[in-house]
Chains A and B, each alone.
Chain A
Amino acid sequence: AQTVTQSQPEMSVQEAETVTLSCTYDTSESDYYLFWYKQPPSRQMILVIRQEAYKQQNATENRFSVNFQKAAKSFSLKISDSQLGDAAMYFCAYRSDNAGNMLTFGGGTRLMVKP
Chain B
Amino acid sequence: KAGVTQTPRYLIKTRGQQVTLSCSPISGHRSVSWYQQTPGQGLQFLFEYFSETQRNKGNFPGRFSGRQFSNSRSEMNVSTLELGDSALYLCASSLTGTGYFSEQYFGPGTRLTVT
Give A residues with C-beta under 8 Å from B. Answer: 33, 37, 43-47, 50, 52, 91, 97-108
Contact = CB atoms under 8 A, between A and B. Distances in A.
Contacts, number: 59
Nearest to A106: B42
Contact of A103 (B99, B104, B108): B104
Contact of A105 (B3, B42, B103, B107): B42
Contact of A47 (B45, B103, B108): B103
B98 A46 contact: no
Interface string B93-110: 010011101111011110
Interface string B39-70: 00011110010100001101000000000000
B24 interface: no
B104 A47 contact: yes
Interface string B77-115: 000000000000010101001110111101111000000
Main secondary structure of the interface of B (DSSP, over half): strand
A94 B103 CA distance: 13
Interface size bracket, B side: 20 to 34
A109 B38 CA distance: 14
A50 B43 contact: no
Contacts of A100: 31, 33, 48, 50, 55-56, 97-98
Contacts of A44: 3, 106-109
B98 A91 contact: no
